[in-house]
Structure 1
């Protein structure tokens, strides 16, 4: 296996076609096809199935893709590290950020980072487990500022704690159950929760089990805060938000916390990186800017930030 062959496989998977892969790699469709055929010939395996609508990866192709992404990513990091030794700045930093951190500390951190590394292109993703973990695992993401898998002890990731906070049940203002005092009173409602593929979506079910309650009749999964807010505003659905997010969304989006007496699990926000991933100056600079923003008492005295800080425990 050669690196150009693995790059071709990754590009085909991302683009969904040979032509699209050629555009991604600034190459020709003939060169991409040749690289793929050589790779399949060397392995004596079919990696790609051609269809009228494009191409799809076979099971063998999917298995190799996981490793190919990591190898391609590591080669890119090695090239960037050598570029840095020559005084050349790394070109892109990819980060997933939890929603409430993005709405508070991220802008100030970005301003500081841009002043120090103006030539670096930033790429941001919504900080949900289903989005962040796969990208962090295969090297497409440099860091994840968010919560780790509930109950997860995986050694593949390294965690640097930032905040600890509690969570609450959230609904639209004037919801008919807005004054409920127990989870039991909410069991017949539609629940919106973030899907965690690492636990196969079992986290919300465990929450009710630990309070000796049956599972709600209807649980729906989501991968977007904007979708969650839109549904909560216009339906009788309920969800679970960390308190900082409630502080930010309550007045702006007409949401409220339902005062159930059950204690919900705490939410930890960490800076998460892949274990064994060599540190680089660009990532270190961004982390420094974020930590400085969090610790800057002059900047965090603004009303929104002050409200958020009252709902978290600072761990740095």
Structure 2
């Protein structure tokens, strides 16, 4: 390692990539933004190449940055694993299950899975990470999490990973129950929908391309009024006080639809289906307790698949 590159440089760089923002990384690490910017600049000088490109959305990795991130994160992971190995020599050391999840699974599948798991293993910590699919898969490759539950990613993002499909899920379009869209005579069209603000997942998420392709295939290339978020809490609160419509995975919205908090807009969203399942690293290596949690998630996903299938024939 270059003599000027130290662990603090690596931690800062990896945190910037994970947060997608230098400012957020600085806040997380409790350092000033100027100090973070100076450290990043010094790191790039020592590496001899630009690692990050800044843009309006935050930061993105350059090709050199992609390579450096892989090894920087791996080195920090190896360091943590070494410390964990020392800690585990104590017979009372706490074990943990770490998994990544997209919102649709975090809402529907994981609460029951975790409840069952904790009933069996109250002493084992469970940590659930919710990020974009791309960020979760990167953490999975680096062994920072044990497995990911969510949608199938693009092929080029699945190298070195294994996906087990468990069920298919469509999008749903929802609004507050007294929304004016429900008073439109002659049925709701996609053109009418675009007259309202649309809450949807951000660019860069695995489900956003499905939504964009859906509208493009119906001749709608421009969505003029979009609010991007993965926050279920914000989406629910925002549509309840506005005329916005919320397009999101059905699994996230179903409980609110059933409870009458939201009402489904009667629009055919065929073509927005996506495979939901479990992604693991191709090589074996899960701990016994992580395997047990994975099996619980698998069973509940398969049960959901049966329920979705049965509803088609009701």
TM-score (norm. length: structure 2) = 0.68
- Take 2:154 and 2:66, find their aligned partners in 1: how far apart are those partners? 27
**Contact 2:166–2:301 (8 Å) recurs in 1:** no
The structural deviation recorded for 1:255 is 0.9
Equivalence for 2:247 = 240
How many matched pairs? 279
Residue 149 of structure 1 is aligned with which of 150, 153, 161? 153
User: Deviation per CA, 1:73-98, whole angstroms, max 9, x where unpaired?
Assistant: 25645776898899786633322223
Residue 168 of structure 1 is aligned with which of 166, 172, 178? 172
Residue 95 of structure 1 is aligned with which of 92, 99, 107? 99
Asked if 1:121 corresponds to 2:125, the answer is yes
- Take 2:109 and 2:211, find their aligned partners in 1: how far apart are those partners? 28
Compared CA separation, residues 20 and 262, structure 1 to 2 (3 A): closer
Structure 2 counterpart SS, 1:103:
helix
User: Deviation per CA, 1:132-186, whole angstroms, max 9, x where unpaired?
Assistant: 3443344433322111336766324321122212222222212111364322221
Compared CA separation, residues 65 and 167, structure 1 to 2 (3 A): closer
**Contact 1:183–1:262 (8 Å) recurs in 2:** no
- Take 2:276 and 2:269, find their aligned partners in 1: how far apart are those partners? 22
TM-score (norm. length: structure 1) = 0.68
Q: C-alpha root-mean-square deviation of aligned residues, in Å? A: 4.4
Equivalence for 1:226 = 233
Residue 26 of structure 2 is aligned with which of 16, 22, 36? 16
User: Deviation per CA, 1:6-37, whole angstroms, max 9, x where unpaired?
Assistant: 754343444639x869xxxxxxxxxxxxxx9x
Residues 184-263 of structure 1 mapped to structure 2, 5 A cutoff: 184-197=191-204, 202-252=209-259, 254-263=261-270
Equivalence for 1:311 = 308
Structure 2 counterpart SS, 1:109:
helix
| Range with greater deviation from structure 2 (234-243 or 222-231) | 234-243
Structure 2 counterpart SS, 1:177:
helix
Equivalence for 2:34 = none
- Take 1:274 and 1:280, find their aligned partners in 2: how far apart are those partners? 13
Q: What 5-or-longer segments of structure 2 have no aligned partner?
A: 16-24, 32-38, 52-58
| Range with greater deviation from structure 2 (86-95 or 230-239) | 86-95
Structure 2 counterpart SS, 1:181:
coil
Structure 2 counterpart SS, 1:265:
coil
User: Deviation per CA, 1:36-64, whole angstroms, max 9, x where unpaired?
Assistant: 9xx97xx665999xxxxxxx9x9878863
Compared CA separation, residues 78 and 103, structure 1 to 2 (3 A): same
**Contact 2:133–2:206 (8 Å) recurs in 1:** no
Equivalence for 1:27 = none
Equivalence for 1:285 = 292
- Take 1:167 and 1:68, find their aligned partners in 2: how far apart are those partners? 37
Compared CA separation, residues 44 and 161, structure 1 to 2 (3 A): closer
Equivalence for 2:18 = none
Structure 1 counterpart SS, 2:192:
helix
**Contact 2:175–2:264 (8 Å) recurs in 1:** yes
